[in-house]
């Protein structure tokens, strides 16, 4: 009985944490879309992360510095070919906030975080009903 209650509390806590991450990511993306600096980037290389190849994208910021970043979205079907030109958006003076400006890269992370939060919340409810 006590373990079900602890499990429900743990699942609920993780759900809230994931929900917070989703809200934060949605706010960052919204801010970038509204006030971010848009430029063109090029996929210059790939790096291995667990089981997936992650594209490394390079662009030149407003100060003329070359900036490289890894695409945040990872997974099957999320690779970008080397040499592909993509639109990039970043905050003024903070090129490390860069995101690829494509629906997959702006909406998918928020959706995955929200779905994960719902799954953990559902687990919390099931564990709470069990006790």
3-state percent breakdown (helix, strand, coil) of the chain, nearest 5? 45, 30, 20
For the stretch 23-52, pLDDT in tens is 999 999 999 999 999 999 999 998 888 778
Domain that holds residue 121: 2-130
Beta bridge partners of residue 42, listed in sequence order: 58, 85
Q: What is the pLDDT of residue 77?
A: 65
- Tell which residue, 51, 38, 46, 13, has the closest CA to residue 106: 38
Confidence at residue 50, expressed as pLDDT on a 0 to 100 scale? 77
Residue 76 and residue 73: Cα distance in Å, rounded? 10
- In tens, the pLDDT along 45-90 reads 988 887 788 899 999 999 999 999 998 777 666 678 899 999 999 9
User: How many domains does one find in the chain?
Assistant: 1
0.85 exceeded by pTM: no
């Amino acid at each position: 009985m006590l373990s079900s209650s602890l499990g429900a509390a743990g699942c609920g806590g993780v759900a809230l944490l994931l929900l917070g991450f989703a809200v934060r990511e949605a706010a960052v993306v919204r801010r970038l879309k509204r006030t971010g600096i848009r430029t063109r980037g090029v996929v210059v290389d790939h790096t291995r992360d667990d089981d997936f190849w992650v594209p490394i994208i390079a662009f030149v910021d407003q100060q003329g510095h070359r900036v490289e970043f890894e695409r945040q979205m990872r997974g099957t079907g999320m690779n970008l070919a080397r040499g592909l030109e993509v639109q990039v958006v970043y905050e003024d003076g903070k090129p490390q906030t860069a995101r690829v400006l494509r629906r997959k890269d702006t909406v998918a992370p928020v959706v995955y975080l929200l779905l994960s939060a719902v799954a953990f919340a559902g687990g919390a409810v099931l564990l709470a009903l069990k006790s």
